[in-house]
Structure 1
Amino acid sequence: MGRSRCWRRTPCRAAGALRGVRSPGGPPAPCGPVVPRRHGRAGPRAAAGPGSGARTAASRRVGGVVVKRSPVARPAATRHVVVWCPHWPVVASGMAPDATGAVVHDQQVIAVSRSARAAGIRVGMRRRDAQARCASVVIVEHDPARDARRFEPVVRSLAELVPVVEVSGAGTVLFGARGPSRWCGGDEALAARVQQLVAG
């Protein structure tokens, strides 16, 4: 094995001699080959701290020698703006905003209008249960192609803020927030601008 060198604030014992004594006003002097610590040595354990020799969460023991891992810098988290239009299938169906309506798939409610929620209709209900809860509810069959087609104008309107967006589903789109937030003058101004573009 090759010779390794270490730095210690306190004298270390190597080959029966004291080495690595810190010079006044300067860094510790290098010491000789690292001598593995004997197991079962009597005496108090060194207090944890820089250069104390105590093992920390960022160290491990290999062959009796404490090996310390250097901290790895993590990349900064990327912030995103998520635009979510709840119950988009209802909006895409073209029913009036004040209509009591629900969109169903395989006889199960998957989206409801605001007035339908007020009438007690909930997502996950069976079709007949929704009709029993509100006899005047307007039932529309789900059409994924229609949802995607009518969401395209919303996506195009966001091109004013950012050239690239990611559509994760009809009614949901996301994009990076760093540039647009800086252009708009802050996150709150960006949120207001996004809401204006989507509603318009």
Structure 2
Amino acid sequence: MSNTLNGIDLVALQGIAQNVAGAENASKRSAKFNVKTKWENQTRTVATVSRYSFLGTEHQRHFEIAADEPTEFLGQNSAPNPQELLMSALNACLSVGYAVNAAAMGITIHSLEIETDGELDLRGALGMDENVNPGYDEVSYVVRLHTDASKEKVEELHKIVTKTSANYANFSRAIRMVTKLEVQEG
């Protein structure tokens, strides 16, 4: 029997779960992420991912993520906009949840696709009406999953993923935002 399913190392997955379950120190059972974003010009930004902490150990890496608005929204259309990146982050997190939890449940995934939609009322985003939410009132997504598992097993998988996905939780619950403004003069 193989120790991988859906590309997931089942022994490593079990090891991570055991480390988290046995950790008394909160930092030894957490993952911490950091992104630094710099404005370049017009509506374009570039975010840099350079480090993260996993189970109390800091790791270095380097990724850049560009964002820009479409030309109709005053950008150069050189990269996905922040809303598309937000939805992409939701879809990626859900995809990880399906792959990992399916593997843990012994379910082979033949294909997986998630499509997400949301509509903004621009009166809120443009500050034209304080009674209009600048964000989404509703986001919908469709999961297209091809597997040989029974419908009941796939429904159980879906419930587990929606219960444990960090970004599903971020979308569906309020997050306490802690902000600090540092102004450089001159």
Q: TM-score, normalised by structure 2?
A: 0.23
For the pair shown, the structure with the greater C-alpha radius of gyration is 1
Q: TM-score, normalised by structure 1?
A: 0.21
Structure with higher strand content: 2
